[in-house]
Copies of this chain bind each other. A is one copy, B any other.
């Protein structure tokens, strides 16, 4: 899943460490999310969403497999 955390973070002139502090997670967590090592938990996604004041869907891009429109 792609995300715009790095872009949004740089947009407001923060480094990873400061964003990490603001979100109360480790810098490695931010780094790992930005580099796509793993996705945040739903809770952390909400915190990030709140911080940037954007909906989760605008920050995290879920790649929908074009599998005949499930359902």
- Chain B residues with Cβ below 8 Å from A56 are 42, 55-57
* Number of identical protomers: 2
Fill in one digit per residue for A37-71: 1 if any B CB lies within 8 Å of its CB, else 0. 00111110110011100011100101010000011
**CB closest chain-B residue, reference A1:** B43
How many residues on the A side are at the interface (Cβ–Cβ under 8 A)?
A: 20
- Chain B residues with Cβ below 8 Å from A50 are 62, 64, 70
- Chain B residues with Cβ below 8 Å from A57 are 49, 55-56
CB-contacts of A9-33 with B (<8 A): 22
Task: Spell out A's residues near B (CB within 8 Å).
Answer: 1, 22, 39-43, 45-46, 49-51, 55-57, 60, 62, 64, 70-71
